[in-house]
Amino acid sequence: MPNVAWSDPVRDAQWYVSTLHLADVHAIGRGSGITVAVIDSGVNGAHQDLTGTVLQGADADLAGIGWTDGGDHGTGVASLIAGHGHGGSDGILGVAPDARILPIGRSTSALDRGMPSTRIPAAIDYAVQHGAKVITLAFGGVAFGELEGAVQRAQAADVVIVAGTGNVGDPGTEGIGGINYPAKYPGVVAVTATGRDGTVDPISVTGAGVVLAAPGADLYVASSTGGYRRTSGTSLATGVVAGAVAVLRARFPRLSARDTVALLTATAVDRGAPGRAAQYGFGGLDLLAALRRGPADGTPTVPVFSAAPSASPGGAPAGPWTTVVLVAIVVVLVAWGALVVLVLRRRRRVIPPGPPSDVPPDIFHRPN
């Protein structure tokens, strides 16, 4: 009987792996060193595709470790962010398989399957305090002041927040009239879900505030039970974009949160109406293009330090005259630096921060 190569049906169904060119992406970066907070229903850190990836986090009451997924939702989102599969080529492969997941899940005393809305602001603050560079908010609802304040504090701490625009017909979203909060807040990366053909899935809530579109329809995700489930929704697209942010922030560690978003929007594939569209925002996610383009200012991918040589160019040890000259140069540079600082302090004026020059300003001040 001829040998037949095993083909994992779960991995084979992950069409975004080829659409996003993840093999090429992962040859450049895999999100190492980046923590992504998943504020959701909890994450099953013992799932075979997430072992070693999920940190000890917290439940919504900021107790526990966040590993109980009572709603079978957060585990799936986390797998699309940082799933590493198993057995070589089986299971869920996330966009940033070397990133770490910080789970903040449902309250251990809550009766509902998700997170009480009143706990979300504290969860966002917790994520920032525990080193998250990306926060995933794969849920939607109405606005309230404490939530907006927490979002603003995270943004001020240079954290990228990614949120789904919402799914058509989701309970609790009646009467919102368009994109759900927190995706609707200024500066949040609001994401719609696309299918295999690149078009926005009908399940996605669309509107003037959409920032990016990403794969999110007909995908397998890891289940809290240890297996898999097939589903669709903007929550999945949120996980995909959060993984993309993690890869970029790992590859370009000096890139600010705003400039990271700028890079993603500048390299997105324009779809729908020319320019920014209600269904696609600035376009479909193209992480490989963003990695290849890199920061516009030529910022190095890692900090560059060069040690001073211990010998003169000819290889001979530096003599006393060399030392005297070097000391004199240092003294002059210090004096000149003090003069420059004095002049700058006299001339300094406060310049309010703004969006990167190559990103339309309305991404940070979107209409309600």
Active site residues: 40, 73, 235
8 CB burial (10 A radius; 0-12, 13-18, 19+): middle
Cβ(160)–Cβ(137) under 8 Å?
Answer: no
Q: Give the number of residues written for the chain.
A: 368
Instruction: State which H helix or E strand residue 291 sits in.
Output: helix 287-293
What is the Cα 187 distance to its own chain's centre? 13
Q: How far apart are CA 270 and CA 259, in angstroms?
A: 19
Cα separation of 172 and 280, whole Å? 24
Confirm if 297 and 359 have CB atoms less than 8 A apart: no
140 close to 169: Cβ distance less than 8 angstroms: no
Strand partners, 137: 163
Q: Which residues contact 40 (CB under 8 A, 6 or more apart)?
A: 69, 71, 73, 74, 77, 78, 103, 104, 105, 114, 115, 136, 138, 139
The DSSP symbol for 82 reads H
How far is C-alpha 2 from the chain's CA centre? 45
